[in-house]
Amino acid sequence: MAKQRKQAVEKRAPARVRKVVLAYSGGLDTSVILKWLQDVYGCEVVTFTADIGQGEELAPARRKAKLLGVREIHVEDLREEFVRDFVFPMFRANAVYEGEYLLGTSIARPLIAKRLVEIARRTGADAIAHGATGKGNDQVRFELGAYALMPNVRIIAPWREWDLSSREKLLRYAETHGIPVEGRKRKGGAPYSMDANLLHISYEGGVLEDPSFEPEESMWRITVSPQEAPNRPEYVELEYRRGDIVALDGRRMSPARVLAELNRLGGKHGIGRLDIVENRYVGMKSRGCYETPGGTIMLRAHRAMESLTLDREVVALKDDLMPRYARLIYNGYWFSPERRLLQSLIDASQQTVNGTVRVKLYKGTVLVVGRASPSDSLFDARIATFEEDAGAYNQADAAGFIRLNALRLRTAANLARKRGR
């Protein structure tokens, strides 16, 4: 059977694969893929496992790769790069997909694609492989990223080739080939497909495929229920420099430490839960549940900082462009020229986004309670005051302003009245 599958693959893809770099988690899917690549393609497999803050011990992945005969094993801590070069730039844009989703899975994929390509170049591999299915967005994200960085790379996506179309078949394959498999079922027997990194955890599949089903409380991993959150609010002050957070409560922190601490605070107060039906790029609707405690705080605070330091029309332009920027990330176009162009515009807008924002965290909510920017604030209390402004603003000017802006409305109304005669 393995020989037949190998021959079938060779007919579809005549170019022989010598060495492939596999995005490897150590779980059931990618462990089966590792062995399948060895058997069907007859190639050397190099594994790459990224630590992007998923909260799992990565040593087992290394051990399992060795057990399966892998000689070149790459396990890398990418948490700082992930937040500094991907999460922070995205939050400068206030990116939200379809009004709600903070793009936790989407923004991790270009970094993984980038490292896959870099390792392929370094090791002389002529292909890369991933474990994304043919139904999801991740196959698009991985492959668009790889092609943008290595145009002639060969990509192997086993889920689009093999006949192992169910978990049961994967388990049988693993048993047949001596691949150790850890239990992946959640407490209470409810299975979920999970993806975790330093920005979020997502839950899909299983009982969640019924959009009317309310997930049990035990599903959530990093946030407490808002009802069970502390009865006293907690305040935190975020310091911004050119649109990025550089300190919390006066303590300087690296990007990854900032996000980890905001996750801790947000999770403690039940912040950042989301249950949505979203539109996948491949065309279908998908129900997903998400926990993004730190990102939820970051979004609210960043908008507050911009409200103080950005011109009105700059804010409006960013808000106009944001949905398109968010779709580019969701759909896998991080390395596209249009995303890079938008990023340069967004980053230019952030030069004056400096100062502090104070937020109150309480039972699932983030309330902005203060903001200050000694060097870049556009708020002028002399003009905005309801008290005596010593001539800073001439209220009589408003009459002409209103009449000019009403001119088209008055013209249309007069015409409508004439037509009605």
Catalytic residues: 29, 109, 138, 193
Which residue bears the tokens 């039906």?
Answer: 277
Distance CA 335, CA 141 (A): 10
Tokens matching residue 388? 């005596």
Q: Encode 210-236 in three state secondary structure.
A: CCCCCCCHHHCCCCCCHHHCCCCCEEE
**First CA to last CA across the chain, in angstroms?**
85
Q: Which amino acid is located at 403 in the chain?
A: R
Tokens matching residue 7? 């021959």
Tokens matching residue 344? 């340069």
**Cβ contact 355:305 at 8 Å:** yes
Extract long-range pairs of 318-326: CB within 8 Å, 24+ residues apart.
318/93, 318/94, 318/346, 318/349, 319/94, 321/93, 321/345, 321/346, 322/93, 322/94, 322/95, 322/96, 325/93, 325/95, 326/93, 326/95, 326/96, 326/97, 326/98, 326/103
Distance CA 8, CA 264 (A): 50
**Cβ contact 197:52 at 8 Å:** yes
Q: Of 48, 50, 45, which Cα lies nearest the Cα of 70?
A: 45
Give 72's contacts (C-beta < 8 A, 6+ positions apart): 44, 46, 47, 123
Q: CA angle at residue 268 from 267 to 270, to 5 degrees? A: 60
**Cβ contact 281:331 at 8 Å:** yes
Phi, psi of 20 (to 5 degrees): -130, 140
DSSP assignment string, 255-275: HHHHHHHHHHHHHHTT--EEE
